[in-house]
Structure 1
Amino acid sequence: MSSVIRSVPVTAGLVAASVLLAGCAALGDDSSGNGRRAVASFYPLAWVTERVAGDAWTVENLTQPGQEPHDLDLSIAQTAALEQADLVVLEEGFQPAVDAAAEGTDAAVVDAAAVVDLLPATADGHDHEHEGEEGAEAEDAEAEDGEEHDHGDLDPHFWLDPLLVADFADAVAEQLGEVDPDGAATYAENAADLRTDLEAVDEDYTTGLASCERTATVVSHQAFGYLSRYGLDFEPIAGLSPDAEPTAADLAHLQELITEDGVTTVFSERLVSPKMAQTLADDMGVTSAVLDPIEGLSDDTSGEDYLSLMRENLTALQQANGCS
C-alpha cells in the first residue's frame, strides 16, 4: 500500500515536468527564424510583431484562434514560453494573466498601453448618463461585472485606428533593434512598409465614410471608439467588456436612438455570443450584421488578416450607414 501512495506524486511530478520540457523544447527549436522568439498576447499585437520582425524571429500568439482574448488563462507551456522569450509584446490591463506572467520575465517588453496614446473610456460604455436610483444600481452592477476585465479609464482597443497601429509598429521595431542591433535597419524598414499599408487603410476609411446618410452606429460592445474620428458615432449595447450586460436604461436609449435616427443595422461581433445584438435588432425590426473588433481570428476568418478585416468592416459600415 505504501508503495502505491508514493507512486502518485512521482507520476504527477513526471507529468508536470514533461509538460514543462515540452514547452522548453519548443522554445529551443531553431528551425525557423534565427533562434530569436517573441511572444505576443493577442492577435493584433502578434500580427504587427510578425510584420515588423520578419523571418528573423518566431512569433507566438498566446491567444488561440477562436478564443476571446479577455478570457485568456495561460497554460504551463505558455508561461514557460513567455518567461524564456527574447521579447514580450502585450497591452497592460487588457489581459491580467499576461501582465502577471510578464512581471517575472527578463525579456524585453513592448507595452502598447505605454507607447500609444489611448483614448479615455466612458464610465459605463454609453454616451448618455444614467439618472436616479436605477442609474446608480446599474453602475454598481456594472462595476461588479467588470472587475475581471477592468481596463481603468482608458479604452484599450487602439488597433482599430490604423495610424495608431503604425505608431505601435514603430515602437516594436525600436525594441527589436535593441535586442538585435544588427537587424535594426531591417526592422525599421519593415515598420515603414507596414505604415504604408496602414495609411492606405486610413485613407479608405476617410474617403469611404466621408458622406453617409447617418452616423449613429449600434455595436455589441464598446470596442469601436477609435473609429469615431472618421465621423461615426458608436453606441454600444455593452461596455468595454464584451460579456457585460446592458441595463434597461441602456436598451431604452438604444431603442429610441434606432427609431429617431433611422438606424438600419445592429452590429454583433465574432468570438462572443451575438444574442444581445440579435435580440435588439429583432425587437426593432432592423438588420443584424457583423462588425469585427479584430481582437482575434475565428474559424470564419482564419484566412484573413488585420488589413482585410478592416476593409470588411468598412464595407459593413458603409452599407449600414448609407455611405457613398
Structure 2
Amino acid sequence: MKRLSLLVLPPLLVLTGCAAFTDDTVGLDNGVQVAAAFYPLQYVASRVAGDHAEVENLTAPGGEPHDLELTPRETADVAQADLVVYEGGFQPSVDDAVDENAGGDTLDVADVVDLVPFREHGVDSDELDPHFWQDPLLLADVGDAVADRLSKVDPDHADDYAANAADLRADLEGLDKDYTAGLADCQRSTVVVSHDAFGYLQKYGITMEAILGLSPDSEPTPADLARLQRVIEDDGVTTVFSESLVSPKTAEQLASDMGVRSEVLDPIEGLSDKTADEDYLSLMRSNLAALEEANGC
C-alpha cells in the first residue's frame, strides 16, 4: 500500500504547484511514485521500477541539468514522491528541495558510487566529477541501489525490482565490454570535447581534453584555446566534439580554425528534441561509434 506523508508546503507551492505525478494511479499496481533528478537517474529508475511505479524527471527534456531551478510543480513532485533519486552536490536546487520538502525516502547516488576527481591537464583537482554515468558499471551500481530502496517502499514487488536491476546490469555490463573492445586499438587516444563531462570514459584508454570546465556555461580563455590548438596539431586530432544541450559555437569555431571535423558527443545529461526517441544505451553506443571513427579504432 502506498505510504502517505503529512507535510506542510510553502504557500506559493500550495497555490500554484501542479505536480506532474498523476492523481489517478489506476493503471499502476500500487501507485508508487519516484522523482528522478535528471535523465540518467530517470532511465535507471524506470528500468528498475518497470510497471510498478510512475517515474518523473525533475529536469525537463531539453533542459541543462547543471542549471536546474525547480518550479513549484517540480518541488511538489519531490514532496509527493515515495522515493527521490538525486545526486547530491550536482543540482543545488534539488538538494534544497530534498532537505526541505521530501516526504518519502531519498537516495543520494553520490553515496552509492565513488566519484573521481576532476582531472585538469592530467592533474587531480579538489573538485569531484559528477558525470559518473559515463561509466556503465557505476550506473549499474545505482540500479542495484534503486532496487533496494524500492523494495523497502514496496516490498510486495521486491523480486521484480531485483530482477529488473539484474537485467539492467546485464545490459550495462555488455555496454562496458563493447567500449573496452571498441577503444582498445586506436590510432589516436586524445579526444577534444566541449565541456568536461566525459572524464569517466578515460578508463577505456582515451584522454579527454575539454574546451570548457565542468560547467558548460563557462568561457574558454585565449590561453585555453591556444593550448587546445597545440594538442589538436601535436596529437593528430581529427574531430572536435560539441554536445546536444548547449551551444556548439565554440567547438565548431575551434574545429574550423584547425581544419578538422565538428561532430556531436552526447553527455547524456538529458534528452532533446533530436534524441527524444533514444535512450541511454542507444546514445552511449552512438558515442562509441563516433569515438571509434574520430580516433581510428
Map 1:150-165 → 2, pairs under 5 A: 153-165=127-139
2:182 to 203, 208, 211: 208
Q: Distance in 2 between matches of 1:217 and 1:83?
A: 42
Structure-2 change in CA distance of 1:281 and 1:128 (3 Å): farther
**Which residue, out of 39, 42, 46, partners 1:46?**
42
Q: What per-residue deviation string (whole Å, max 9, x for no partner) do you get for residues 145-183 of structure 1?
A: xxxxxx962100000100111011101111111111121
* Cα RMSD after superposing both structures: 1.8
Of 16, 20, 24, the residue aligned with 1:19 is 16
What is the aligned partner in structure 2 of residue 222 from structure 1? 196
Deviation at 1:252, TM superposition (A): 1.4
Confirm whether residue 307 of structure 1 aligns to residue 287 of structure 2: no
Q: Note the 1:121-270 alignment, pairs <5 A.
A: 121-122=118-119, 125-127=120-122, 153-270=127-244
Once the two structures are TM-superposed, the CA of residue 32 in structure 1 deviates from its matched residue by 3.4
Query: 5 Å matches for 1:58-73?
Result: 58-73=54-69
Which of 83, 89, 107 is the aligned partner of 1:93? 89
Match for residue 30 of structure 1?
25
Corresponding position of 1:107 = 104
SS at match of 1:212: coil
- Report SS of the residue matched to 2:188: coil
CA pair 115-54 structure 1, distance change in 2 beyond 3 A: same
- Quick one: distance in 1 between partners of 2:45 and 2:13? 31
Contact 1:162 1:202 in 2 (8 A): yes
Hey, what does 1:286 align to over in structure 2? 260
Decide whether the 8 Å contact of 2:34 with 2:82 is kept in 1.
Answer: yes
Cα distance, 1:249 vs structure 2: 1.9
- In terms of fraction of residues, the more helix-rich structure is 1
Distance 1:68 1:285, change over 3 A: same
> How far apart are residue 17 of structure 1 and its match?
4.9
Q: Is the 8 A contact 2:117 2:126 kept in 1?
A: no
Q: Cα distance 1:277–1:16, how it changes in 2: closer, same or farther (>3 A)?
A: same
Cross-structure match for 1:5: none
Unaligned runs of 5+ in 2: 1-10
Tell me, yes or no, if the aligned pair for 1:127 and 1:235 is still in contact at 8 Å. Answer: no
**TM-score normalised to the size of structure 2?**
0.92
**Is 2:13–2:73's contact at 8 Å kept on the other side of the alignment?**
no
Change in CA separation of 1:157 and 1:17 when aligned onto 2, cut-off 3 Å: closer
Distance 1:220 1:76, change over 3 A: same
Q: Where does the alignment leave 5 or more consecutive residues of structure 1 unmatched?
A: 1-12, 130-150
The answer to whether the Cα contact below 8 Å between 1:52 and 1:194 also exists between their aligned partners in 2 is yes
Q: Deviations over 1:269-299 (max 9, x none)?
A: 0000001101110111110000000000001
Distance 1:152 1:38 in 2: 32
Distance (whole Å) between structure 1 residues aligned to residue 251 and residue 13 of structure 2: 43
**How far did residue 70 of structure 1 move?**
1.0
Distance in 1 between residues matched to 2:32 and 2:126, nearest whole Å: 34
Q: Is the 8 A contact 1:42 1:296 kept in 2?
A: yes
Judge conservation of contact 1:157–1:224 (CA < 8 Å) in 2: yes
Q: Tell me, in whole angstroms, the C-alpha distance in 2 between the residues paired with 1:42 and 1:16.
A: 21
Residues 32 and 57 in structure 1, CA contact (< 8 A), matched pair in contact too? no
Match of 1:272 in 2: 246
Distance in 1 separating the partners of 2:96 and 2:160: 32
**Residue 49 (structure 2) pairs with residue 75 (structure 1):** no
Tell me how far 1:16 sits from its aligned partner: 6.8
Count of residue pairs the alignment pairs up: 285
Cα displacement string for residues 44-69 of structure 1 (whole angstroms, at most 9, x for unaligned residues): 00000000011000000011111111
The code of the aligned residue for 1:60 comes to: E
